[in-house]
């Protein structure tokens, strides 16, 4: 039976996206700290601009001042702006982070970015100095390290090469840059601080509370609780008193097997959430360093901690087992507080048997199951001096092993934004469903006037609503995603879980008779990766597509790049991350985030050298890497190297890359990858005819061999590179022999790749596996089968990332636009028109005709199909780097306007800001470009009339040293430009087609229609058996 339109939301109609205004910020609910200083009142839509903007639902400020050059002009130097500024460094980083506190890298990488308002204002040399005291940088003492003046016009980083760094020491550093034609350098200064440089320096022990597992469950009597043996234990709280005084230099180094939250004298020492983060705890455990000097008081002080199961001993992944199955059985805590007085004397407070422990308000906390607070167990003031802990127990010492401890290398998870509800709907006398208008990862904060002793408030979470307009939780599988508060009669309660997170748009709140929008807020959690990109265009739905992609990234970059944030999985699937990485790295600065995750990938490797399918590794979860999944161990380091121009990504990974390729080769001497393929997910969740698995596998084999060769080339290892270049060539020839046929009877000859599927042609073309004389014919066949399908994509996770770039490369940008414009299943616009606010796992996760797909594999927040976000930047807006460029040294600006009126993109690259804006007015197209100092760009001006081209209002001159004509083609003219700002104009056909439209006035079946109808609601389809539903 065909489903009827829903009467109220399941997924929800999207919020309107009004234009930004510049009349100042709205009043934020709560300032939220982070690398890009978000202040959000409701729906966070744009993390990227360098100024605060107001939309209907949100106030967000952009990157911090350290990450944004003080000024850059909209047009070139020809405009003669009086406020022009010359070359200047900004955005200083150590180990890809701003002023990191606690690093253990012996040779840290120090990097900077450059900005200038002048054309050709490029650096010619740099100098880096490091000292223990800032005055020593000014010549007031001994420098620890000094590069001297190094002539290098492309340098944007230097690796420390001085004497060994001391542990727990702050170092100050300065970069000096000499502009072209200037004898006086420009300078900027920053600092970093080391952690322990030797694991033997640790003195603390791992401590815990006596672990007696219990489980808090509903009892037969309303309002009461009972215990069983399911293993969810009350969370330990630990405290230690000591004598201190203000003016003391204090550093706290802390970790947990589990999750921790630490307070000093009742004040949280950090805004980090879910610390210390997820790693394979058998291989490494991260610790963090905090400056707590300002929190000390005279006399008695208290260091207090709460620890919970987290990934260490909680439910992890989709298997029903938990404590001890993957890592440990109960949480443990480790800390050292180092105090240095004004007289230079040092003491340390360490975790040992002198700490006191108990259990407190948090009766259980689990990442998948949720969190329970019972206020009847509150011990008010336990985190403060003066509390009587004589009834508490001494801590149990669980060991003193420190060899796995490493300083954290990535940004922590933080509460990044807050969303107010779109609506609050009562469904029973004490139950309400709250719609936050955005699918997200995070938790709910609830204000309650009073809660009687033993009374409960229960918060359940879901991404969508079912046909009865209740929470649809079937797709959560076994994840309970339920938070509980038990009252003790007190008033004015603020309830917010602290050690769990959920993927949700909707929350059902039971146990509160009266609930208003001001009582509840959604707190958005994700790793605090600095946002680095923005995209805009004249098509409202493409803007929303970009926002869905960005929200999927935020929701799933939580310590590791997860597949989804809601169900009993949330694993670091390698293929999902590798296909999405090009998009992710344009949206944000993910260098530190992926530095950490590459360690997880390396830790997860199997004894025979293979990469796995998920990292961190879990016992028994898909160990043998599948084609496209295991290959991520090769693809990700290569893309990070190209993006950040940091060869250490390759140096650290090359051994694993070689081992992976060699492993496949050992098992497949005929060079067709059929053996040792693991679970072989193929082109995961592709609709239509499956691509032959050995086609995909062998293509991935060739691609990994080729990238391994290129990595060795980049590192100067010629013999290694030659070996893998030969192997890649052999696999390429084998691929053509086994899978490619040529029909010479056709004119021109027709090419067929085994299976004749879109993904088959995409991998062959993207990975350059075909003889040169067959490339055009293969590209033609790809276009044929895409067009004959609708045009539509019939690809899954692996193929979708390649589709638009390959079509564009082979002259069919028009077809890539057609795919973007499609609004039927499968397409990106179909979910948008049915209320999606994040990318779905499936093209058809819900349709009006069939309802929901099988809940076993049906996430509504899954970024893999959002890999098209890369082409919004590189294709639609035209912001790209040349194929042989690293770190945006040489840009390729080649917009594909399609039927749009305008588009723009901005990216904060490792060298500085890259910006592209184009717009059409009548028969003219204006293209503005900003190229950072030290870079050049090839600019493709789209026009059929080269004589119409103007730059900053004048015809480009042949003797202009900043603009060089390279080539003229039938549809563009290519110039090479030096750094600076440019504005080209040329004749161009006016926009037409159906772009620039908004779906606001359409009346379609939707998961959240705007009005109630009398027809029956759609019912979820029965569970269907799909081969791809079982990993």
Buried/exposed 298-327: b ≥16 CB within 10 Å, e otherwise: eeebbbbbbbbbbbbbbbbbbbeebbebbb
Residue 931 maps to which CATH number?
2.60.420.10
Residue 723 falls inside a structural domain: no
* 520 and 442 belong to one structural domain: yes
Return all residues near 700 (Cβ < 8 A) that are at least 6 apart: 627, 628, 631, 673, 763, 767
Return all residues near 149 (Cβ < 8 A) that are at least 6 apart: 125, 126, 127, 178
What pLDDT sits at residue 1028?
A: 32
Quote the tokens at residue 218: 């509903």
Pairing mode, strands 936-942 and 890-893: parallel
Please state at what angle helix 648-667 crosses helix 693-714, rounded to 10 degrees: 140
Residue whose entry in the numeric block shows the structure tokens 């921790």: 260
* 979 and 920 belong to one structural domain: yes
Q: Which of 750, 753, 756, 626 is nearest to 689 (CA)?
A: 756
Q: How many CB atoms lie within 10 A of CB 291?
A: 16
β-bridge mates for residue 109, sequence order: 159
pTM equals 0.90
Q: Which of 274, 802, 842, 309 is nearest to 560 (CA)?
A: 274
Residue 906 falls inside a structural domain: yes
Return all residues near 746 (Cβ < 8 A) that are at least 6 apart: none
What pLDDT sits at residue 39?
A: 28
Q: Work out how many domains the chain is built from and give that number.
A: 3
Query: How far apart are alpha carbons 890 and 642 in whole angstroms?
Result: 11
What pLDDT sits at residue 485?
A: 98
* 358 and 469 belong to one structural domain: no
Domain boundary among 477, 508, 527: 527
Query: How far apart are alpha carbons 612 and 632 in whole angstroms?
Result: 9
464, 537 Cβ separation under 8 angstroms: no
Torsion of CA 884, 610, 759, 545, to 10 degrees: -70
* 419 and 388 belong to one structural domain: no
**951 given a catalytic annotation:** no
Strands of 598-669 (E only): list them. none
Residue 243 falls inside a structural domain: yes
Torsion of CA 1010, 1013, 1015, 1017, to 10 degrees: 40
What pLDDT sits at residue 84?
A: 67
Residue 476 maps to which CATH number?
2.60.120.260
Domain boundary among 502, 527, 552: 527
Residue 715 falls inside a structural domain: no
Q: What angle do CA 589, 593, 599 make, to 5 degrees?
A: 140
Catalytic, out of 273, 508, 569, 908: 569
989-1022 per-position pLDDT tens digit:
887 654 444 433 333 443 543 322 222 233 333 3
Residue 487 falls inside a structural domain: yes
* 255 and 341 belong to one structural domain: yes
* 254 and 295 belong to one structural domain: yes
Query: How far apart are alpha carbons 456 and 362 in whole angstroms?
Result: 14
* 240 and 375 belong to one structural domain: yes
What pLDDT sits at residue 319?
A: 75
Return all residues near 710 (Cβ < 8 A) that are at least 6 apart: 638, 721
Between the alpha carbon of residue 941 and those of residues 539, 878, 944, 978, 988, the distances in Å are 22, 11, 9, 16, 10
* 348 and 490 belong to one structural domain: no
Residue 579 falls inside a structural domain: no
Return all residues near 706 (Cβ < 8 A) that are at least 6 apart: 724, 725, 728, 767, 768
Query: How far apart are alpha carbons 669 and 288 in whole angstroms?
Result: 47
What pLDDT sits at residue 83?
A: 58
Burial tier of 449 (Cβ tally within 10 Å: 0-12, 13-18, 19+): exposed
**569 given a catalytic annotation:** yes
Query: How far apart are alpha carbons 166 and 163 in whole angstroms?
Result: 9
Query: How far apart are alpha carbons 267 and 696 in whole angstroms?
Result: 54
* 388 and 506 belong to one structural domain: no
Query: How far apart are alpha carbons 278 and 640 in whole angstroms?
Result: 21
Residue 686 falls inside a structural domain: no
Residues of the chain with pLDDT under 50: 1-65, 71-82, 213-230, 994-1006, 1008-1031
Please state at what angle helix 797-809 crosses helix 574-587, rounded to 10 degrees: 50
Q: Is the dihedral of CA 780, 784, 786, 791 positive or negative?
A: positive
* 436 and 391 belong to one structural domain: no
DSSP code of residue 754? T
587, 555 Cβ separation under 8 angstroms: no
652, 637 Cβ separation under 8 angstroms: yes
Q: How many CB atoms lie within 10 A of CB 384?
A: 16
Q: Indicate the SS3 state at residue 377.
A: helix
Domain boundary among 347, 375, 401: 401
Q: Which of 785, 801, 818 is nearest to 874 (CA)?
A: 801
* 378 and 249 belong to one structural domain: yes
Catalytic, out of 371, 467, 624, 841: 841
17, 398 Cβ separation under 8 angstroms: no
Note the maximum CA span of the chain. Answer: 93
Buried/exposed 212-225: b ≥16 CB within 10 Å, e otherwise: ebbbbeeeeeeeeb
Residues in the chain: 1031
C-alpha of 511 from chain center: 36
Residue 73 falls inside a structural domain: no
What pLDDT sits at residue 245?
A: 92
DSSP code of residue 877? I
Quote the tokens at residue 3: 């489903």
The domain in which residue 491 lies consists of: 415-527
Q: Which of 981, 991, 1006, 1018 is nearest to 906 (CA)?
A: 981
* 285 and 312 belong to one structural domain: yes
């Amino acid at each position: 039976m065909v489903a009827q339109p829903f009467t109220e939301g399941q997924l929800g109609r999207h919020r309107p996206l009004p234009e930004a205004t510049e009349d100042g910020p709205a009043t934020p609910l709560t300032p939220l700290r982070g690398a890009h200083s978000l202040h959000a009142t409701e729906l966070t839509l744009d993390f990227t601009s360098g100024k605060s903007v107001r939309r209907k639902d949100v106030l967000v400020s952009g990157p911090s001042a350290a990450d944004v050059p003080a000024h850059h002009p909209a047009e070139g130097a020809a405009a003669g702006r009086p406020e022009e500024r010359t070359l200047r460094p900004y955005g200083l980083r150590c180990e890809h982070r701003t002023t990191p506190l606690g690093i253990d890298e012996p040779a840290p990488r120090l990097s900077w970015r450059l900005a200038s308002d002048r054309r050709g204002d490029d650096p010619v040399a740099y100098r880096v100095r490091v000292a223990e005291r800032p005055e020593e940088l000014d010549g007031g003492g001994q420098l620890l390290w000094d590069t001297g003046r190094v002539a290098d016009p492309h340098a944007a980083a230097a690796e420390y090469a001085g004497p060994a760094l001391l542990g727990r020491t702050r170092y100050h550093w300065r970069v000096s840059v000499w502009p072209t034609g200037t004898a006086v350098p420009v300078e900027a200064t920053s600092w970093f601080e080391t952690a322990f440089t030797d694991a033997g320096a640790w003195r603390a022990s791992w401590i815990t509370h006596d672990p007696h597992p219990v489980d808090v469950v509903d009892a037969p009597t309303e309002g009461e609780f009972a215990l069983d043996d399911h293993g969810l234990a009350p969370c330990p709280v630990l405290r230690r008193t000591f004598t201190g005084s203000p003016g003391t230099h204090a550093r706290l180094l802390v970790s947990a097997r589990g999750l921790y939250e630490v307070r000093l004298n009742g004040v949280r020492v950090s805004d980090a959430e879910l610390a210390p983060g997820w790693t394979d705890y058998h291989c490494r455990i991260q610790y963090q360093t905090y400056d707590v000097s300002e929190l000390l008081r005279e006399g008695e002080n208290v260091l207090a901690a709460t620890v919970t199961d987290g990934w260490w001993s909680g439910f992890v992944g989709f298997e029903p087992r938990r404590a001890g199955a993957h890592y440990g059985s109960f949480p443990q805590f480790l800390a050292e507080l180092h105090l240095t007085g004004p007289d230079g004397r040092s003491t340390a407070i360490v975790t040992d048997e002198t700490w006191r422990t108990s259990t407190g308000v948090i009766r259980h906390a689990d990442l998948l199951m949720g969190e329970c607070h019972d206020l009847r167990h509150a011990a008010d003031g336990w985190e403060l001096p003066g509390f009587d802990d004589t009834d508490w127990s001494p801590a149990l010492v669980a060991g003193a092993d420190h060899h796995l401890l490493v300083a954290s290398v990535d940004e922590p998870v933080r509460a990044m934004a807050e969303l107010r509800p779109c609506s609050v709907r009562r469904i029973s006398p004490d139950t309400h469903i709250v719609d936050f208008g955005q699918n997200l990862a995070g938790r709910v904060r609830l204000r309650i006037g009073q809660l009687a002793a033993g009374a409960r408030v229960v918060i359940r979470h879901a991404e969508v609503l079912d046909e009865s307009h209740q929470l649809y939780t079937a797709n959560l599988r076994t994840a309970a995603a339920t938070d509980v508060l038990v009252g003790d009669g007190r008033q004015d309660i603020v309830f917010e879980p602290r050690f769990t997170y959920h993927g949700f748009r909707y929350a059902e709140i039971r146990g509160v008779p009266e609930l208003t929008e001001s009582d509840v807020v959604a707190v958005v959690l994700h790793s605090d990766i600095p946002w680095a990109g923005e995209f805009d265009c004249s098509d409202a739905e493409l803007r929303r597509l970009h926002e869905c992609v960005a929200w999927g990234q935020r929701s799933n970059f939580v310590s590791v790049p997860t597949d989804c944030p809601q169900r009993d999985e949330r694993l670091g699937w390698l293929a999902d991350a590798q296909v999405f990485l090009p998009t992710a790295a344009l949206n944000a600065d993910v260098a530190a985030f992926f530095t950490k995750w590459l360690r997880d990938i390396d830790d997860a490797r199997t004894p025979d050298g293979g990469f796995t399918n998920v990292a961190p590794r879990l016992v028994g979860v898909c160990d043998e890497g599948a084609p496209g999944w295991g290959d991520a161990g090769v693809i990700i380091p290569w893309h990070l190297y190209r993006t950040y121009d940091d060869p250490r990504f390759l140096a650290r990974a090359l051994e694993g890359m070689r081992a992976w390729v060699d492993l496949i080769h050992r098992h497949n001497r005929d060079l067709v990858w059929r053996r040792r393929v693991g679970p072989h997910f193929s082109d995961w969740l592709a609709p239509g005819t499956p691509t032959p698995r050995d086609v995909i596998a062998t293509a991935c084999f060739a691609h990994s061999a080729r990238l391994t060769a290129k990595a060795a080339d980049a590192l100067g290892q010629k013999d290694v590179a030659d070996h893998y270049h030969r192997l890649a060539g052999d696999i390429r020839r084998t691929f053509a022999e086994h899978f490619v046929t040529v029909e010479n009877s056709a004119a021109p000859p027709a090419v067929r790749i085994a299976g004749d599927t879109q993904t088959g042609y995409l991998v062959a073309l993207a990975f350059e596996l075909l003889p040169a004389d067959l490339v055009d014919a293969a590209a033609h066949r790809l276009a044929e089968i895409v067009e004959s399908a609708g045009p539509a994509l019939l690809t899954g996770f692996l193929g979708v990332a390649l589709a638009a770039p390959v079509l564009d490369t082979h002259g069919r940008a028009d077809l890539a636009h057609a795919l973007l414009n499609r609004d039927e299943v499968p397409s990106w616009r179909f979910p948008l028109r049915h209320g999606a606010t994040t990318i779905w796992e499936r093209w058809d996760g819900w349709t009006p005709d069939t309802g929901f797909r099988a809940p076993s594999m049906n996430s509504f927040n899954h970024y893999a199909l959002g890999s098209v976000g890369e082409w919004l930047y590189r294709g639609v807006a035209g912001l790209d780097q040349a194929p042989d460029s690293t770190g945006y040294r040489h840009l390729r600006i080649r917009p594909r306007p399609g039927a749009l009126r305008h588009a723009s993109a901005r990216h904060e690259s490792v060298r500085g800001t890259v910006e592209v804006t184009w717009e059409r007015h009548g028969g003219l197209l204006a293209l503005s470009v900003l190229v950072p100092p030290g870079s050049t760009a090839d600019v493709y001006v789209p026009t059929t009339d080269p004589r119409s081209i103007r730059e900053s209002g004048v015809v480009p001159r042949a003797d202009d040293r900043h603009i060089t004509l390279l080539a003229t083609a039938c549809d563009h003219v290519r110039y090479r430009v030096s750094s600076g700002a440019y504005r080209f104009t040329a004749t161009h056909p006016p926009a037409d087609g159906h772009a620039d439209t908004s779906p606001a006035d359409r009346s379609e079946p939707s998961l959240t229609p705007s009005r109630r109808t009398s027809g029956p609601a759609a019912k979820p389809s029965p569970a269907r058996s799909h081969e791809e539903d079982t990993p």
